[in-house]
Amino acid sequence: MEKTALNTDIKKEQDKAQELIKKQGLRVLVCAGTGCVANGSMQVIEKFRELGADVAVLSEQDKMTTVPTGCHGFCEQGVLVTIPDLKVTYVKVKVSDVEEIFESHIKGGKPVERLLYVDPMTHNHVMDDEHINFYAKQTRTALKNCGNIDAESIDEAIAVRGYEALYNVLEENDPDKVIETIEKSGLRGRGGGGFPTGRKWRFTAANKGGKSYVVCNGDEGDPGAFMDRSVMEGDPHKLLEGIAIAAFAVGADEAYIYVRAEYPLAIKRLRKAIKDAEERNFLGNNIMGTNFNLTIHIREGAGAFVCGEETALMASIEGERGMPRPKPPFPANKGLFGRPTLINNVETLANVPVIILNGADWFNKMGTETSKGTKTFALTGEVNNTGLIEVPMGTTLRQIIFDIGGGMREGKKFKAVQIGGPSGGCLTEEHLDIPMDYDNLIKAGAMVGSGGLVVMSDKTCIVEVARFFMNFTTNESCGKCVPCREGTKNMLAILQKIVKGNGTMEDLDKLEELAEVVKAGSLCGLGKTAPNPVLSTLKYFKDEYIAHIKDKKCPAGVCKALKRIVIKEEICKGCTKCARNCPVGAIEGTVKNPHKIDQSKCIKCGACLNACPFKAIVSE
């Protein structure tokens, strides 16, 4: 097919943008993602700018520019300051540290050691990202630019090849070839389901002709996952470019990005990015001089987890209650406003420009047989390095938790890892070495889901975690399917009974039975997967359930109702202090004789524990 002549010269634009960046001189990258902003990065940026502008000492060639970037992913160490030219990353930077960095390192060439990252395993100070295990062991494609560019500047995006893929695609003017490339790349939906992306595109493109839509699912509702937030905040243009390429491929001229209202920063940056891209004619009418038009709208969600389900999400865009409907008809045939609709998740679409630029083969060389490319995971919980990571599919849990994650926090013992949020399951020590991909995780009783990884230690109560997730799905069930609405409620009631110490062994059978009913009788993914956290913990941690039921004990010491506060008779001196401090009069005893706690009255407030001068009172 003949190439289309475009009125934009992307190479020239790139040169111009790179020239602008060169003029910035020394780039001081300060993370301005949600996490770092909470830790005060805006003040840090201001201070750097103040110092940089003020000093005439810095001649034109060693001018410095402070760049607020998107999320670096290493939120816990925020505020993060990276100066690539000096090969340094500073962690936990406060406003009061800025002057020292400036004087000592930027001007004096001497790094500020106390602000360097300390490896939790070796206790060594580490200079830069290449040597921080958290970064060194990752492969970043979707997140590549997050943290390296000013998320609010379109020039910075262009300088790192932003919109080049869109340019190439428009120049070639062959939508079918685009779909072929995506098919060949092996990209699968990153929102959880893992449906082959190319196939979805092909289905939608088959209905070309009339009005059709692209919808980007940014309703990242899984508690514990924040990769989509990072992409939207840190590299919004990449997402817009991915949407534009998708729209071109399937023949859509209107797109919606559905973003959670809980992500105000992401919404703000996307709005700006859309405006900037329209000004450059990378979006809007006759994009780059072709006859391809695309308008992108932003819709703010209103706090309903079920809206992550595609048919519910579309109902929500249409202004209705976000309740799923049966499929078929699939969105590809009858979606938003009854028109053919392609609906993809943020991370999926962020992978598209990179695949177009580097080719399908480059992408499908990464990963496993059935799951290609990289996947982002939100690593949280009881590990030393929490944050957002991106690794090739097939990486093992051990590599993630112990290499990238830097091992368990405070020397705690690894017990389990919860993958995939409320739809996923808990995996244990025996799963640490399986290569993680869509299919292996399903086999093990969990799922990739959106990629939340919550690491749990021996101080985490598994039954309580199952209760937590069930509580979540019960609240978020939209109520359409009775098995989900009532089943999750009853499963939650049983779990509550167990954590309170009132469970019976029959309850465990009932739990399993209910789980099957909920799974079989629900329309959408929320209900179909809601029992997973319970089923997987029952499978791997049944003894912990039994301990709650039979021994009335919580092995992790978390469940308050099962806690017992007792006085050790051999240590008690009979000083009566505990009895005087007890708010409910549960402690009996006479002076100089060992006291005793009446368990039926005790409310486990711990007042006696703190009052005892002889450490004779313990919680067990």
Contact residues for other proteins (CB under 8 A)?
A: 34-35, 37-39, 74-76, 78, 220-226, 229, 260-264, 299-305, 316-322, 337, 378, 380-382, 386-388, 418, 421, 452, 454, 456, 460, 465, 468-469, 472, 475-476, 478
Q: In whole angstroms, give the CA distance from residue 245 to residue 49.
A: 37
Closer to other proteins by CB, 268 or 573: give it: 268
Q: What's 128's DSSP letter?
A: S
- Residue linked to tokens 């080719």: 359
SS3 332: coil
Q: Look up residue 29 and give its amino acid.
A: L
8 A C-beta contact, residue 456 and residue 418? yes
Least CB distance from residue 262 to other proteins, whole Å?
A: 6
Give the ranges where 423-481 is alpha helix by DSSP (H): 438-443, 462-476
Least CB distance from residue 474 to other proteins, whole Å?
A: 12
Q: In whole angstroms, give the CA distance from residue 175 to residue 246.
A: 9
Least CB distance from residue 475 to other proteins, whole Å?
A: 8
Residue closest to 428 by CA, chosen among 403, 446, 408: 446
Least CB distance from residue 384 to other proteins, whole Å?
A: 12
8 A C-beta contact, residue 453 and residue 419? yes
Closer to other proteins by CB, 155 or 347: give it: 347
Closer to other proteins by CB, 75 or 360: give it: 75
Closer to other proteins by CB, 78 or 367: give it: 78
Burial tier of 100 (Cβ tally within 10 Å: 0-12, 13-18, 19+):
middle
Q: Which tokens belong to 276?
A: 């900037």
Concatenate the DSSP letters of all residues of 552-613 into one string: ---TTS--GGG--EEE-TTT-----HHHHH-TT--EE--TTS--EE-TTT-----HHHHH-T
Distance of CA 193 to the CA centre of its chain: 16
Closer to other proteins by CB, 75 or 547: give it: 75
Closer to other proteins by CB, 195 or 468: give it: 468
Q: How many CB atoms lie within 10 A of CB 35?
A: 25
Edge-to-edge strands, sheet with 387-392 = 387-392, 374-381, 452-457, 414-419, 425-428
Least CB distance from residue 304 to other proteins, whole Å?
A: 5
Q: Which tokens belong to 514?
A: 């209910």
Torsion 382-461-308-184 (CA) sign:
positive
Closer to other proteins by CB, 206 or 302: give it: 302
| Helices (runs of H) and strands (runs of E) counted in the chain | 25, 19
Q: In whole angstroms, give the CA distance from residue 333 to residue 229.
A: 29
Closer to other proteins by CB, 37 or 83: give it: 37
Closer to other proteins by CB, 215 or 317: give it: 317
| Residues in CB range of 114: below 8 A, 6 or more apart | none
Q: In whole angstroms, give the CA distance from residue 205 to residue 200.
A: 9
Least CB distance from residue 568 to other proteins, whole Å?
A: 26
Least CB distance from residue 204 to other proteins, whole Å?
A: 21
Q: Which tokens belong to 29?
A: 């990258």
Least CB distance from residue 197 to other proteins, whole Å?
A: 24
Least CB distance from residue 224 to other proteins, whole Å?
A: 4
Residue closest to 538 by CA, chosen among 493, 507, 500, 502: 507
- Residue linked to tokens 């893929």: 165
Q: What's 6's DSSP letter?
A: P
Least CB distance from residue 319 to other proteins, whole Å?
A: 4
Closer to other proteins by CB, 410 or 620: give it: 410
Least CB distance from residue 90 to other proteins, whole Å?
A: 17
Closer to other proteins by CB, 352 or 416: give it: 416
Closer to other proteins by CB, 111 or 381: give it: 381
Least CB distance from residue 35 to other proteins, whole Å?
A: 5
